[in-house]
Amino acid sequence: MRGSLWHLGQSVTRRLAQADKKAVARRFFASEADLKKTVLYDFHVANGGKMVPFAGWSMPIQYKDSIMDSTVNCRQNGGLFDVSHMCGLSLKGKDCVPFLEKLVIADVAGLAPGTGTLTVFTNEKGGAIDDSVITKVKDDHLYLVVNAGCRDKDLAHIEQHMKAFKSKGGDVSWHIHDERSLLALQGPLAAPVLQHLTKDDLSKLYFGEFRILDINGATCFLTRTGYTGEDGFEISVPSENGLDLAKAILEKSEGKVRLTGLGARDSLRLEAGLCLYGNDMEQHITPVEAGLTWAIGKRRRVEGGFLGAEVILKQLEEGPSIRRVGFTSSGPPPRSHSEVQDEKGNNIGEITSGGFSPCLKKNIAMGYVKSGLHKAGTKAKILVRGKAYDGVVTKMPFVPTKYYKPS
């Protein structure tokens, strides 16, 4: 999805507030009939969700509260997100680990059962096809979630390589979890609220860990992860139990955890310094350039064995020519594709995501600049609607992360 969801949310809100609401609704929601709907669609609408097209789905950009309030509430209390548009899949078979290692940069073999990591699917040039959270359920079962907007190309890519791998005798099969829905519960109240709905002790489940367990009477895949920088969970639930689970979570929180839309999800992930595929990562950007060197397993740095490894290992040795960095700036918030210049007016890069931070009450952005100009404190000019404003390279995350890790 090009451009910022935050900006889309702001423009939807502004335009709906203006006179001709019917014409605006037609323009934004014209293709409603063609869009896929999650099992919570009617629940979103009943709760004031403003539905917008996103990656072929009709999704809530926000509810009755503003994106600003919703973002702050997630960090202070909690937010419940319907992320069922994302694609969960399982790879099974005794060779599923070596198979996946041909496609991603992670040391999948080195993961302990019940743990996971963020990884990147790469192409032959080392560019990012997609980012994904992968989990080793057991040595012969991997569970992964890929982005909604990349679903078709990701599945085609995996399938093409799986056919070749199986033709050489490899034992791997897959199942796409279209029978399940995905909810993300994020924020300081996530664990205490979810604990009411399961007998398993969540204090023993740390960031990046995975369990299959009973939540609210349904068998769920639970990963302690998220896309906000807060502690929280992603819960894969059988679709027939999705609505009941969402209602139970909101009820147990006594109104403090709120339904939260894609607009706040975008500002939360930007504050946490996390990439949005299609903005901050694309086919021509490598994991090294994107600042995800930490996600390349140590063994993989030596052995390679994934698509584009030659390019990536060379960048690890020599350094990349561009790097992803954070910015703070004055003036109007920078947008995707805003030009970044040095103080003399020379082009040094571009913004890939930007907006006004609801929690910090200032402009934040991320983008790519030439190596050497990526150090925190480097001054820059950021062009917004043709006018240059002061910016400075800033360490990310902008808001400190609160992941639940062993003390």
Hey, what are 366's tokens?
């991320």
What phi-psi label fits residue 22: left (phi over 0), alpha (psi between -120 and 50 degrees) or beta? alpha
Hey, what are 214's tokens?
């009973």
Sign of CA dihedral 116, 121, 127, 130: negative
Hey, what are 144's tokens?
């992964």
Share of the chain above pLDDT 90, in %: 92
Say if CB 308 and CB 122 are below 8 A apart: yes
CA distances from 365 to 63, 310, 352 (A): 24, 31, 8
Q: What pLDDT does 295 receive?
A: 98
**Which residue in this structure is represented by tokens 């639940």?**
404
Does the structure show a pLDDT above 50 at 192? yes
Q: What pLDDT does 31 receive?
A: 59
Does the structure show a pLDDT above 90 at 27? no
10 Å Cβ neighbour count for 169?
7
Q: What pLDDT does 407 receive?
A: 87
* Residues 327-365: tens digit of each pLDDT: 999 999 999 999 999 999 999 999 999 999 999 999 999
DSSP 293: G
Directed axis angle between helix 5-17 and helix 262-271, to 10°?
140
Q: What pLDDT does 325 receive?
A: 98
Does the structure show a pLDDT above 70 at 250? yes
Question: What letter represents residue 164's amino acid?
Answer: A
Does the structure show a pLDDT above 80 at 17? no
10 Å Cβ neighbour count for 320?
23
Q: What pLDDT does 79 receive?
A: 99
* Residues 227-238: tens digit of each pLDDT: 999 999 999 999
* Residues 59-114: tens digit of each pLDDT: 999 999 999 999 999 999 999 999 999 999 999 999 999 999 999 999 999 999 99
Instruction: Give the closest residue to 84 by CA, choosing from 215, 232, 262.
Output: 262
10 Å Cβ neighbour count for 178?
11
Does the structure show a pLDDT above 60 at 22? no
Say if CB 116 and CB 134 are below 8 A apart: yes
Q: Rounded to an integer, what distance in angstroms lies between the CA atom of residue 401 and that of residue 262? A: 20
Say if CB 341 and CB 309 are below 8 A apart: no
Share of the chain above pLDDT 70, in %: 92
10 Å Cβ neighbour count for 291?
21
Does the structure show a pLDDT above 60 at 2? no
Hey, what are 160's tokens?
């093409």
Q: What pLDDT does 33 receive?
A: 82
* Secondary structure class of 197 (helix, strand, coil): coil
Query: Higher model confidence: residue 340 or residue 33?
Result: 340
| DSSP string of 69-109, one letter each residue | HHHHHHHHTEEEEE-TTSEEEEEESTTHHHHHHTTBSS-ST
Does the structure show a pLDDT above 70 at 373? yes
Reported pTM = 0.93
234 is in an annotated binding site: yes
Directed axis angle between helix 67-76 and helix 262-271, to 10°?
60
Confidence of residue 326 (pLDDT cuts 50, 70, 90): very high
Element containing residue 13 per DSSP (H, E): helix 5-17
Q: Rounded to an integer, what distance in angstroms lies between the CA atom of residue 83 and that of residue 65? A: 19
Instruction: Give the closest residue to 130 by CA, choosing from 106, 116, 151.
Output: 151
* Residues 239-248: tens digit of each pLDDT: 999 999 999 9
Bridge partners (DSSP) of residue 52 are: 59
Q: What pLDDT does 241 receive?
A: 98
Query: Higher model confidence: residue 18 or residue 194?
Result: 194
Confidence of residue 14 (pLDDT cuts 50, 70, 90): low
Q: Rounded to an integer, what distance in angstroms lies between the CA atom of residue 43 and that of residue 46? A: 5
Q: What pLDDT does 132 receive?
A: 98
Say if CB 158 and CB 174 are below 8 A apart: yes
Mean pLDDT of the chain: 94
Q: Rounded to an integer, what distance in angstroms lies between the CA atom of residue 288 and that of residue 275? A: 13
DSSP 174: E
